[in-house]
């Protein structure tokens, strides 16, 4: 298997002894440098992905072509959860409720 940019690979001990055991990683290929190597080996540039599919580090790795395996689909990276502070219903954007705090009182009275 000759990887190309965009491929998601499982890099483990079959690709190189340095990735054996708990050092295996999910790797998204960014580029395949055209460097002279030993037959059956290749340099890859890409990103190490965590369990959520988020890139954690950019790396350049040297691996055996015969040991490369496609990874199971990584989940799409999740976006950070954003919480918004909403104005009260009485505040329609003109700032009146914020200035006279009427929106806050109305909300507190509703409870």
Taking only the tens place, the pLDDT of each residue in 34-46 is: 999 999 999 999 9
Q: How confident is the model at residue 72 (pLDDT cuts 50, 70, 90)?
A: confident
Least reliable range by pLDDT among 2-11, 17-26, 73-82, 99-108: 99-108
Taking only the tens place, the pLDDT of each residue in 19-67 is: 999 999 999 999 999 999 999 999 999 999 999 999 999 999 999 999 9
Closest CA to 70 of 27, 21, 17, 19: 27
Rounded Cα–Cα distance for residues 90 and 100 (Å): 11
Q: Any alpha helices (H) in the chain, and if so which ranges?
A: 96-100, 102-110
**Mean pLDDT, the chain, integer:** 82
């Amino acid at each position: 298997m000759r990887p190309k940019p965009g491929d998601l690979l499982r890099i483990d001990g079959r690709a190189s002894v340095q990735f054996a055991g708990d050092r295996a990683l999910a790797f998204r290929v960014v580029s395949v440098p055209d460097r002279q190597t030993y037959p059956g080996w290749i340099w890859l540039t890409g990103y190490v992905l965590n369990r959520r599919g988020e890139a954690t580090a950019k790396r350049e790795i040297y691996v055996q072509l015969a040991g490369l395996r496609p990874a199971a689909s990584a989940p799409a990276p999740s976006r950070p959860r954003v919480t918004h502070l909403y104005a009260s219903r009485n505040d329609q954007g003109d700032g009146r409720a914020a200035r006279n705090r009427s929106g806050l009182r109305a909300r507190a009275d509703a409870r």
